[in-house]
Amino acid sequence: MENNKSGESIIQYSIRIQLMLNKLLVQQVQNHLGHSTTLPMAFNALLESISVSFDRYEDTIKRLESSVNNCTNELGQLNEKLQDETAGLKQAHYELSRIFNQVNEGFFAKDIITDKYIQMSVGCEKIYGYSVEDFYTNSLLWFQVIHPDDRLLIDKENEQLNKGIQIKSSYRIFHKDTTTRWIEVKAVPVMVDGRLARVEGVVNDITEQKNAEKLLMDSEVKYRSFFENNMDGMMLSKPDGAILEANPAACEIFGATEEEICGYSRAELLDFAEPALLNLMEIRSRTGKVKGELNFFRSDRTIFRAEMASSIFKDANGEDRTCVIVRDITDRKKAEEQIADSEQRYRQIVETAQEGIWMMDKNYHTVFTNKKMCNLLEYSEGEMLDKHLTFFMGEQGRALAAPSIERRKTGISENMDLPFITKSGKHIWTNLSTSPLLNNEGQFAGGLAMVTDITKRKTDEELIKKSAASLDLKNKELKRKNTELEQFAYVASHDLQEPLRTTSSFVQLLQQQYKGKLDEKADKYLEFIVDSSDRMKVLIKDLLDYSKIGSKYEQERVDCNQVMKNVIADLNKAITDSAAIIIADNLPSISGYVTEIKQLFQNLIINAIKFRKPGEEPYLKISANLTGNYWHFSFADKGIGIDKAHHERIFIIFQRLHTRTEFEGSGIGLSHCKKIVELHHGKIWVESVQGRGSIFYFTIPEKMPGERRV
């Protein structure tokens, strides 16, 4: 309250002035009226009472004043108190807003009617990344940043708020920095006249909490899937042995449902007779975990051997729990026994093997050899161990082995011949069938070789090679000579014809003009000359024909039945004259030279007719059959036969077994046949006993070399 200079309050001052003025007024009126006797008494009395009243009034005022003074004092004190309290409140407000803006939560109050924020704390800025100003200016911002998938939720919550129900929800928002955050919003509706007027609330960033929950969920899911899908039996139990959970693999191993397993006591699962059991349990209680092999019971009380791992841990509630993993190893044990068995068998095989077995590490140092290998190289197994492959080789071996040593590292299996030098210095050749040994990572870890002694084969091969080379040389020489001979035969026979023709025509002239004019002897000589020049002509013609075989024609498909028909037709006169019986089976089609084949057939038929037994009709049976890749032709007659001594000679040119007087001929027919058959890559021979007929055989390949399949 304001005070004047004398320290009184304005109220006291104004009351005092009022009283003073009232008194002055009464005195003035009295003074004025005291000089006048005309005023009635009543008026004086009135004045008197007014004056008294004034006094009383003054009195009352004084009392009032003192009470006002008291009040003013109290008020002053109250005011001071109030001022103190206001300062306290201000401080509290300041503190509060400091806290309000510092806490991680964001606070907000929104007027629903004006759709404007009334208040928003700085905490919101941290959560959303937008400034408080942004929210004040855009009242929809809070909705715009919500993840589209979560907006539906907001519609529902708005409905709740409109009904006056407070809400608590969590959803995703896009922070201004574009990251997605999880927030939790608690909002309280403020209703006015039954309508939602204001919403006040708290926002929290719960991203970390959500992530942690997700991690927890993930690990729970992982743990579950691990537990459910594990191939090993897994059980969770209390320290007293009561089983709480069993996975499907455990159910399968024990042949029981999870419920049944959870009802089993330790004694029902474990074979307490197992001596290792106590020791294992002791280790587990001392170290918290243990691994080992134990006997377990299936639900049907059959015993099985299992690998077991067990550990003690504390669950989320701090309770002791035991995890037991059981792996049935019955099959493995069986397999191990079988392996041991087959290991034994394998050893026997290896030791009795006829091949050397040599195993090397990746650096080609010997790690294993069997007896045979030791015998081959004349070293003991101990002497061979750790020795490098090349230790057993000379220069040649090393040079041959070097590239293959490199190749082996690339994982190729190979077969090769390598020379070694034995302990006594003998040079041997071996065949190595090698394969790389790979480790579990597929890397080269060494090599295994099956080794065979091929020294004899190699020596034979060398010999064969040498003789093949000389044979080849001789063959070439022979071919060259043959060609020369053929050329010579051709040239000779061709050139001989000319002088022969002249000789024989002059001899004929001589005979015509001087026959009977000279003496008898001269006539005989002329006859001889004519006769031998005629034979000479035939010989030369035959020789010429022989040299021409196969030189003119192209190979073609030859129907032997047709050829046979033609030959028989050509030889009709000779056949009829001699009353020969010729039986030809069905003959094949072959690939060859038709003229030559015709000549071949013709020569053989002529011979069969010619060399018949005297007084007998010629008989010839012709057949062909396929044996292997060759057609075997046979011409079997019932003629005079051939002594075994001459079976080969008869195929040589101009070789005859008879005189011309006995049988006509120049001795070239069969050599023709031989040449023709050889031209067709076949062979010709005779089987015959003198006086008992002959069978001439020849072969012709089903397919001529170089002939393409059609």
Residues found near ligand ADP in the complex (CB under 6 A): 607-608, 611, 637, 639-642, 650, 656-658, 665-671, 694
CA distances from 89 to 84, 92, 119, 521 (A): 9, 5, 20, 182
Least separation in angstroms between residue 690's CB and ligand ADP is 9
Query: What is 397-425 written as a DSSP string?
Result: HHHHHHHHHHHHTTT--EEEEEEEE-TT-
Q: What is the number of the residue whose Cβ is closest to ligand ADP?
A: 665
> Cβ closer to ligand ADP: 418 or 608?
608
Q: Report which residue type is found at 148.
A: P
Q: Which is nearer to ligand ADP, 447 or 639 (CB)?
A: 639
Least distance to ligand ADP, CB of residue 677, Å:
13
Nearer to ligand ADP, 592 or 667 (CB): 667
Nearer to ligand ADP, 135 or 611 (CB): 611
**Rounded-to-integer distance, Cα 38 and Cα 36, Å:** 5
Is the CB of residue 50 less than 8 Å from the CB of residue 26?
A: yes
Give the containing element (helix H, strand E) for 201.
Answer: strand 195-205
Q: What are 180's two structure tokens?
A: 């997605």
E strand map for 221-348: 233-237, 243-246, 289-297, 303-314, 320-328
**What's phi and psi for 103, nearest 5 deg?**
-65, 160
Residue closer to ligand ADP (CB basis): 30 or 690: 690
CB of 563 to ligand ADP, least distance (A): 19
Q: Which is nearer to ligand ADP, 370 or 599 (CB)?
A: 599
Of 611 and 633, CB closest to ligand ADP: 611
Expressed in angstroms, the distance from the first to the final Cα of the chain is 138
**Smallest separation, CB 534 to ligand ADP (Å):** 15
Q: Which helix (H) or strand (E) holds 223?
A: helix 207-229
- Cross-strand pairs, 438: 444
| Nearest alpha-carbon partner for 276 in 296, 249, 259, 262 | 296
Q: How far is the CB of 597 from ligand ADP (least distance, A)?
A: 17
Q: What are the CA-CA distances from residue 661 to residues 108, 275, 300, 575, 586 (Å)?
A: 148, 116, 111, 21, 37
The residue (of 448 and 657) whose beta carbon lies closer to ligand ADP is 657
81 forms bridges with which residues in the sheet?
none
Nearer to ligand ADP, 15 or 620 (CB): 620
Q: How far is the CB of 641 from ligand ADP (least distance, A)?
A: 6
For the CB of residue 473, give the shortest distance to ligand ADP in the complex, in Å. Answer: 32
Q: How far is CA 396 from CA 237, 381, 418, 568, 701, in A?
A: 71, 24, 9, 68, 45
Closest distance to ligand ADP from the beta carbon of 640 (Å): 5
Closest distance between ligand ADP and the C-beta of residue 599, in Å?
12
